[in-house]
Structure 1
Amino acid sequence: MSSETYIHHLITYGYTVLWIFLSAVVILVNKFILDFGGFHFPIALTLSHMAFCSVVATALIRLGYVKPIEMDNTMYFNNVVPIAALFSGTLWLGNAAYLYLSVSFIQMVKAQMPVTVFLTGLLLGTERYSFRYAANLVIVAIGVATASYGEIQFDLLGFTLQMGSIATESFRLVLIQLLLQARGIKLNPVTTLYYVAPACFVFLCFPFAFIEAPKLFTATNLVVPYGWIILSCVAALALNMSVFLLIGRSSALTMNIAGVVKDCLLILLSVVLYGSPVTSLQLAGYALALGGVTWYNVQKIQQTSPPAAVQAQEKGDDLENKPLVQGKN
């Protein structure tokens, strides 16, 4: 192995470790803020993320560090706004689920993502029915159902919120393919945040005004964990950048393996840090779902060899684990 090849692999592994680390930080910090930290306002937390990302992206573009793409109002409202609306729902519902479910169980439920992406693709015409894919995804669904049945602290509302987050994320991913990739729109992380984050902020203001604002502004004994919220915002922004770096240097297989490592690490950390109970039945169900997801992704890679970003999104990684909008590489 030449020195250049060695350095290339070393940098790739470094980006992979950074991505896994930042993923864990974002998820665990959000769980702490929303549950153990006593700040039970997931929409407000998500609004802070979108506001921070909007300000940073706007500053980078206005100061000339990043060049924006040309996008007229028609293209913006027809292509970007629908994706931003879905992404807002994904973030809101996904963060709200932390109020009711453990991190470990949420990671297990997220194994359901390829099933919903495939079904959404069939509905919108971006996927073709395949018995092999369907059989694999039935295995995934059975595994997730088994893990859910074995969950000691199962909460129907939390599970519904998480499934809603997965559903909106599935439609977002399919719309990215239909509205952006088909038109050759290419966005890097900064331009993505510049165009999408403000729209997400506006969409989130509506549920915030009716659901959380009355409670937040009238609370008397509420202690806002400003330090943790700032850490969460910075980590989420850094994670979005790290995904872009990793996608540019890795394969779809590397992304999937890293995703599996990340999920297992989060389950372990959830047990160690937050005392989340995990039963043997849950682990068996998750192992079954994970096997189905892995084989599904292997078949997709062998058949189509798509960009790493698409495979990472189909894996169902956390919202902050990928760019808000992914264009063609």
Structure 2
Amino acid sequence: MADRLITLCKDEVLTYAYLLLYIALSSGQIFFNKWVLSSKEINFPYPLGLTLLHMVFSSVICFMLTKVLKILRVEEGMTAEIDFQHKSNEVPIFRYSTSVVPIGAMFAMTLWLGNTAYLYISVAFAQMLKAIMPVAVFVLGVGAGLEIMSCRMLLIMSVISVGVLVASYGEMDINWVGVVYQMGGVVGEALRLIFMEILVKRKGLKLNPISVMYYVSPCSALCLFIPWIFLERPKMEAHGSWNFPPLVLSLNCLCTFALNLSVFLVITHTSALTIRVAGVVKDWVVVLLSALLFADTKLTVINLFGYGIAIMGVAAYNNQKLKKEASRSSSDDSEQGQSVPLTTSSASSK
């Protein structure tokens, strides 16, 4: 009995340690990105290039850990039967293009636009705008047939929307260019989650977060590389010598990968819902700490009041998702805990 109690205590302590690690890394990554992009700090104003570095770094590290060192395992789920149940002899690139490319493209869009928003708006305000995410996911989910419209969900979406509007009204130095970029990132993330939901539910593919990183990161890197050539490379060349601090950017990329790895640890020991709940705590940490760390962050009472309303709606949304997951069979619940839409795949911008 004593041994069992000790084991339970150890497991609980380990779970909380992983959660604290995730919150610390996620918050730290947001501040780190802002610090790198800020003209008053490192002054590397190339969000597209920074995100491209993150994806290339993650691709290389995932390959080294899974295929060379074989420390981590990639689930072999990309089989012909997923997309071509009656055409098993099709070329593999078609399977990858229909299953991974849409997710990778939306992932790239989310990170690119989210990081670009930091050039125009404060970290705190960007975080407040991200609270609208459940609304975007739900609306797109209804359109894709993954969600069912109900009075309860409509009320929850309304609460979140009103909260974000109030928080925006209280913003003292609102920059609409930054708002557009941030909302574009929100739409990209919502589409990514919808594609992940379709991949998991309709095609039956089960991938853990490490497998998602392994498959998606190279695709996202390619999707980012093409616009980088035309949009940011000329600016970097016109600048003369590239402002490229290798040590700082290497540490930034390493933090991004560590954040994704922490997600893997949390989901392995708990569930995807736990990540969402921890994300709410992280959001408040980011909003409050940013006011202390960055001069461009000026919080108002209206800001905080509106954001508080939005977070109440997000909490209600998470509760509904918990009930939905609990209604599934125990076997499905067990599998879903190990293979989920990676909510922090947008770690580069979160």
CA contact 1:255–1:312 (8 Å) conserved in 2: no
Aligned to 1:77: 97
User: Is the aligned partner of 1:288 residue 2:291?
Assistant: no
Alignment partner for residue 191 of structure 2, among 146, 149, 171?
A: 171
Cα deviation, residue 64, structure 1: 5.1
Amino acid of the structure 2 residue aligned with 1:296: Y
Equivalent position amino acid for 2:11 in 1: H
Asked whether 1:193 is paired with 2:220, we answer no
Q: Contact 1:255–1:311 at 8 Å: present in 2 too?
A: no
Secondary structure of 2:45's aligned partner: coil
1:199 and 1:310 map into 2 onto residues whose CA distance is 20
Distance in 1 separating the partners of 2:187 and 2:338: 19
Range with greater deviation from structure 2 (179-188 or 208-217)? 179-188
Given the alignment of the two structures, is residue 39 of structure 1 paired with residue 60 of structure 2, yes or no? Answer: no
CA contact (8 A) 2:260 2:345 kept: no
- Return the alpha-carbon distance in structure 2 between the equivalents of residues 184 and 311 of structure 1: 12
Q: C-alpha separation between the residues in 2 aligned to 1:302 and 1:165? A: 28
- Choose the corresponding residue for 2:204, options 157, 180, 184: 184
Equivalent position of 1:327 in the other structure = none
Cross-structure match for 1:20? 23
Asked whether the equivalents of residues 49 and 228 of structure 2 are also in contact (C-alpha less than 8 Å), the reply is yes
Number of the residue aligned with 1:106: 126
Contact 2:29/2:348, CA 8 A, preserved across alignment: no
Check the 8 A contact 2:208/2:340 in 1, yes or no.
no
Alignment partners' CA distance in 2, 1:282 and 1:242: 30
Name 1:206's counterpart in structure 2. Answer: 226
User: What residue in structure 2 maps to residue 326 of structure 1?
Assistant: none
Q: Classify 1:264/1:116 alpha carbon distance in 2 versus 1 (closer, same or farther; 3 Å).
A: same
Q: Residue 256 of structure 1: CA displacement?
A: 3.7
Deviations 1:168-197 (A, max 9, x none): 111111111112443232223433222211
The structure where helix makes up a greater share of residues is 1
Q: Distance in 2 between matches of 1:245 and 1:182?
A: 26
Q: What is the alpha-carbon distance in structure 2 between the residues aligned to residue 317 and residue 190 of structure 1?
A: 12
- Summarize the Cα distance change of 1:312–1:191 in structure 2 as closer, same or farther, 3 Å threshold: closer
TM-score, normalisation: structure 2: 0.85
Note the 1:124-143 alignment, pairs <5 A. Answer: 124-143=144-163
- Would the aligned equivalents of 2:27 and 2:282 in 1 still touch at CA under 8 Å? yes
Moved more, 296-305 or 120-129: 296-305
Tell me the distance in 2 between the aligned counterparts of 1:321 and 1:203: 15
CA distance in 1, matches of 2:63, 2:125: 36
Residues 62 and 117 (structure 1), Cα distance of their counterparts in 2 relative to 1, 3 Å cut: same
Whether the 8 Å contact between 2:207 and 2:339 is mirrored in structure 1 is no
Displacement of 1:312 in angstroms is 8.4
Q: Does structure 2 retain, via aligned residues, the 8 Å contact 1:297–1:311? A: no
CA distance in 2, matches of 1:312, 1:174: 9
Instruction: Tell whether 2:286 aligns with 1:259.
Output: no
Larger Rg: 2
Pick closer, same or farther for the CA change 1:310–1:101 going to 2, 3 Å. farther
Aligned residue for 1:183, secondary structure, equals: coil
| Contact preservation (8 Å) 1:240, 1:321 | no
Partner residue of 1:319? Answer: 346
Pair 1:58 & 2:63 matched: yes
Q: What are the ranges of 5 or more consecutive residues in structure 2 without an aligned counterpart?
A: 79-91, 327-332
For residue 226 of structure 1, what is the aligned residue in structure 2? Answer: 246
Aligned residues: 320
Task: State the 1:198 CA deviation.
Answer: 1.1
Q: Is the 8 A contact 2:135 2:160 kept in 1?
A: yes
- Letter of the 1:61 counterpart: T
In the alignment, what sits opposite 1:269?
Answer: 289
Cα distance between partner residues in 2 of 1:251 and 1:179: 18
Mapped to 2, the partners of 1:304 and 1:56 lie a distance apart of 33
Secondary structure in 2 aligned to 1:40?
Answer: coil
Q: Does 1:5 align with 2:8?
A: yes
1:278 equivalenced with 2:299 (yes/no): yes
Q: Conserved in 2, the CA contact under 8 Å of 1:188 and 1:244?
A: yes
Give the equivalent residue in structure 2 for 1:48: 53
TM-score between both structures, scaled by the size of structure 1: 0.91
Q: Given that residues 167 and 302 in structure 2 are in contact (C-alpha distance below 8 angstroms), is that contact kept between their aligned partners in structure 1?
A: yes
User: Would you say the 8 A contact 1:136–1:295 is kept in 2?
Assistant: yes
Displacement after TM superposition at 1:244 (Å): 1.1
